[in-house]
Amino acid sequence: MSTTLKSLRALSDPTRLRIVALLERDELSVNELQEITRLGQSRISTHLGLLADCALVQSRRDGKRTFYKLNEHAEAATREFIQLAIRGAKELPEHSGDQINLKRVLTRRREQAQVYFNQIAGRFDRVYGPGRSWQAFGHLLLRILPSLVVADLGAGEGLLSELLARRCKKVIAVDNSEKIVAFGKAKAKRNGLKNLEFRQGDLQNPPIDANSVDLVILSQALHHAENPAAAIAAAHTILKSGGQILILDLLKHNFERAHELYGDRWPGFPESDLHRWVENAGFKKIEISVVAREEQPPHFQTILASGEKH
């Protein structure tokens, strides 16, 4: 039988006209169609099967449910049939009841989607949400970073350096541990990051030319330096004019075991010390604030300090 005849036959039944008209607004599951039309499930499924055979509707599976909608990719002739069917359905006595029921079902669906978010409102940042992670947010924020030359001082194995290298022009990762530098180098090579260069050296006298980088990062590294003020002054030296320093470190704490557990030389820093060192090094537009507090004892707090070289 020709496609035209098949479509005409499919649309010769008032129930199928009702179904086509109901799918005009949104996709619907078999259960929802059943609730709206008050027809049995097997009848609905048979009608949907016939409509799908003529490419008037299409379906998608979502777990155990199947959703139907008007065929988005229908050819011109089929689209005309769909429009005719919708016009025809409007003349049926069931039409206004169908539309009222459809509205109710769609409203309930929207409300159900909101129930979860209403429940977690006010705790949003503390509950698990699939796909929401600081790592993903980090990648998002990277997209707004211009193509910079970055020095990551006390870089470790390059957790941050690797992330930055995916966006920046060049990243120079400096660490004084021979083993860590070797490991970081090998990892960067494995990951194909040709613009990430590891150099062994001290963050108080980094092996980087003066006035050569746009951004210096000291992430949880300063509290390992013998002379933190000297490290900040060295950062100023290697920065180009207009360049920026970003320091992430611990706010002064009383957790004495940090020395033995993490090899920390300093128990974090008071904001006032950081501010003074950054200012004395010659930075302007200084901003310092606590940006994170750990939930578990000893509740380490992270400070973010920044300044610009002029």
Ligand X SMILES: C[S@@+](CC[C@H](N)C(=O)[O-])C[C@H]1O[C@@H](n2cnc3c(N)ncnc32)[C@H](O)[C@@H]1O
**What residues line the site for ligand X (CB under 6 A)?**
154-156, 159-160, 174-177, 180, 202-203, 219-221, 224-225
Q: Is the Cβ of residue 106 or residue 193 nearer to ligand X in the bound state?
A: 193
Output the smallest distance, CB 211 to ligand X, in A: 21
Residue whose Cβ sits closest to ligand X: 156
The Cα 304–Cα 310 span in angstroms is 20
Q: Is the Cβ of residue 98 or residue 175 nearer to ligand X in the bound state?
A: 175
The Cα 207–Cα 209 span in angstroms is 7
Output the smallest distance, CB 253 to ligand X, in A: 15
Q: Is the Cβ of residue 98 or residue 162 nearer to ligand X in the bound state?
A: 162
The Cα 65–Cα 20 span in angstroms is 19
CA-nearest of 217, 87, 99 to 154 is 217
Q: Is the Cβ of residue 164 or residue 203 nearer to ligand X in the bound state?
A: 203
Output the smallest distance, CB 189 to ligand X, in A: 18
The Cα 18–Cα 89 span in angstroms is 5
Q: Is the Cβ of residue 156 or residue 243 nearer to ligand X in the bound state?
A: 156
Q: Angle formed by the axes of helices 3-10 and 41-53, to 10°?
A: 160
Q: Is the Cβ of residue 85 or residue 155 nearer to ligand X in the bound state?
A: 155
Give 12-81 as a DSSP string.
TSHHHHHHHHHTTTS-EEHHHHHHHHT--HHHHHHHHHHHHHTTSEEEEEETTEEEEEE-TT--HHHHHH
Output the smallest distance, CB 66 to ligand X, in A: 48
What is the CB neighbour count within 10 angstroms for residue 124? 10
Contact 243, 309 (CB under 8 A): yes
The Cα 160–Cα 14 span in angstroms is 63
Output the smallest distance, CB 272 to ligand X, in A: 23
Q: Is the Cβ of residue 89 or residue 151 nearer to ligand X in the bound state?
A: 151
Output the smallest distance, CB 45 to ligand X, in A: 56
Output the smallest distance, CB 35 to ligand X, in A: 54
Helix (H, G, I), strand (E, B) or coil at 274: helix
Q: Which residues of 289-299 are buried (b: 16+ CB within 10 A; e: fewer)?
A: eeeeeeeeeee
